[in-house]
Amino acid sequence: MALIEAERVALRYGGPAGTLALEDFSLTVEPGEFVALVGPSGCGKSSFLKVVSGLHPVSAGSARLHDAPIAGPQHGIGMAFQNATLLPWRTTLENVLLPLEVSRDHRATFRRKRAEHEARAMALLRTVGLAEFRDHAPFQLSGGMQQRANLCRPLVHEPEILLLDEPFAALDAFTREELWGVLQDLWTQRRFTVLLVTHDLREAVFLADRIHAVSRRPGRIVKTRAVDLPRPRTLATTFEPAFVDIVHELRDEISRVRQA
């Protein structure tokens, strides 16, 4: 059974006369898949993440999670955005622990299970190479390190689904490619389901099992491409002809969409 099932979803902001962000948007995601949405900016990719997380109700069509309609914020979802929204008054470790402190499922037992939670957070920080920075404040970390911590935070309550909205867009090219590897490691270890929104085609091909190209607003899926490159993928993979071919194929599709 599919984990996420969107069928002919439409999403309109601000009443019946408002902007139509999504129209006729259908997408199915299986448990453990890594799915990327690519498309021109302002095409409604991020709006779909809001539908899945239950932060915005659909205007038409149906969106289902575990075969139940999505109504209101959902359990078991983690989110990370382009700007590392770490709290400046908390250390790296305290920032990663925040979801456990406030989430419906864990806040009641947070104090009692503090040691267990810290161990969990530290395991994540070790994977992304931040273990020794657990007691540093965010402003003492570089942009790349902040984004690493920002990837750990939504994973600490072990969600089924991770929603990523252009998580590496604000980073320089070297750091970005490094973090692709970090994210791939996290995913390989834990096998959560990922929905990644990006406008970086190489990023999408590097990370995803399946890529959907989205049309201009109102967003609709115009092309689906499976990526069958072997894992783990490395930077060397990005120079292989098979990788480059997929990137080109997607680029052609996106430029067609932008001109249409």
Contact residues for other proteins, defined by CB under 8 A: 50, 53-55, 73-75, 77-83, 85, 87-89, 98-99, 101-105, 107, 137, 139, 153-154, 157
Q: Shortest Cβ distance from residue 99 to other proteins (Å)?
A: 5
Q: Which residue reads 């750091």 in tokens?
A: 175
Note if the bond before 218 is cis, omega within 30 degrees. Answer: yes
- Complete DSSP assignment for 143-204: HHHHHHHHHHGGGTT--SEEEEESTTTTS-HHHHHHHHHHHHHHHHHH--EEEEEES-HHHH
Choice between 88 and 230, CB closer to other proteins: 88
Buried b or exposed e, range 49-88, using 16+ CB within 10 angstroms: bbbbbbbbebbebebebeeeebeeebeebbbbbbebebee
CB of 193 to other proteins, least distance (A): 15
Minimum gap (Å) between residue 114 Cβ and other proteins: 15
For residue 23, what are its two tokens? 């129209």
* Separation of alpha carbons 40 and 37, rounded Å: 10
Minimum CB distance to other proteins, residue 249 (Å): 32
In the complex, minimum distance from the CB of residue 209 to other proteins, in angstroms, rounded to a whole number? 24
- In the bound state with other proteins, the residue whose beta carbon lies nearer, of 105 and 172, is 105
